[in-house]
A and B are shown apart, each in its own frame.
Chain A
Amino acid sequence: EAGVTQFPSHSVIEKGQTVTLRCDPISGHDNLYWYRRVMGKEIKFLLHFVKESKQDESGMPNNRFLAERTGGTYSTLKVQPAELEDSGVYFCASSLTGRHSYEQYFGPGTRLTVT
């Protein structure tokens, strides 16, 4: 069974540009989460989808970040326009529903560098 995949693995963009990160969850996982780790800091929750609906987006830093999950399958996280402080590693995770939803499976992350 394929795990959570993320694309790209690395992205280097200039301040003001737009970047879109993609996450493909494990097949059948209704829950999808985005997290971010800024260098030297802890991994922080950004938002949570249940199927195509946003269950909790309390961790989104500001309105330059837009997450979508059309059709309840893969998800994208767009940063527009990117700022220097957006640099970090963006993780995606997925899980089943019910009690098993606590077992979140993480992807390898996308390292975003904004110059």
Chain B
Amino acid sequence: AQSVTQPDIHITVSEGASLELRCNYSYGATPYLFWYVQSPGQGLQLLLKYFSGDTLVQGIKGFEAEFKRSQSSFNLRKPSVHWSDAAEYFCAVGLAYSGGGADGLTFGKGTHLIIQP
């Protein structure tokens, strides 16, 4: 069965500093890869996705992620964080179903991002 590992439960970063959140997945083939963010009281918002092609994908809010097949990783990065980026971040993988669409996603446990002033 596929699995997603986010090794960092909490990460504290100073405002303006760079950020990298780690994500590793376990699956025999390349799944579809996603990063979601959940701010307090909000639902999960899709930050970015990787299906195929260019391994560096750009997302919303200035985030990017790089797919590295050899490392089974899909790390999320941002060059300069803002206080509003404080939230919980989830890495997820998805697979196709026979009907040609997506089945349920498999999530990591999430990483809480804390921004220091």
- Contact check, A33 vs B104: say whether CB atoms are below 8 A apart: yes
Stretch at the interface among B10-18, B65-73, B106-114: B106-114
Asked if B36 is at the interface (CB within 8 A of a chain A CB), the reply is yes
A41 and B97 CA atoms in complex are apart in Å by: 25
Q: Tell me, rounded to whole Å, the shortest Cβ–Cβ distance linking A51 to chain B.
A: 11
**Which size bracket describes the interface of A in this complex?**
20 to 34
Contact of B102 with A107 in the complex, beta carbons under 8 Å: no
Q: B32-76, CB under 8 A of A: which get 1 and which 0?
A: 101010000111111001010000000000000000000000000
Instruction: Determine whether B20 belongs to the interface, using a CB cutoff of 8 Å to chain A.
Output: no
Query: Contact residue range for chain B?
Result: 20 to 34
| A99–B96 alpha-carbon span in the complex (Å) | 9
Task: Find chain B residues with CB under 8 A from A97 CB.
Answer: 100-101
Q: Which residues of A contact B103 (CB under 8 A)?
A: 45, 48, 55-56
- Interface residue? B90 (CB, 8 A): yes
Asked whether, in the complex, the Cβ of B43 is within 8 Å of the Cβ of A91, the reply is yes
CB-contacts of A18-66 with B (<8 A): 31, 33, 35, 41-48, 50, 55-56, 59
Q: Are A98 and B100 in contact (CB under 8 A)?
A: yes
A106 near B: Cβ within 8 Å?
Answer: yes
User: What residues make up the interface of B, taking CB atoms closer than 8 Å to A?
Assistant: 4, 32, 34, 36, 41-46, 49, 51, 90, 92, 94, 97, 99-110
The 4 A-B pairs with the shortest beta carbon distances in the complex, nearest first, are A45-B104, A101-B101, A106-B44, A43-B107
Q: Can you list 18 contacts pairing A with B, beta carbon distance less than 8 Å?
A: A33-B104, A42-B108, A43-B44, A43-B92, A43-B107, A45-B103, A45-B106, A48-B97, A48-B104, A55-B99, A102-B49, A102-B101, A103-B49, A104-B105, A105-B46, A106-B45, A107-B43, A108-B41
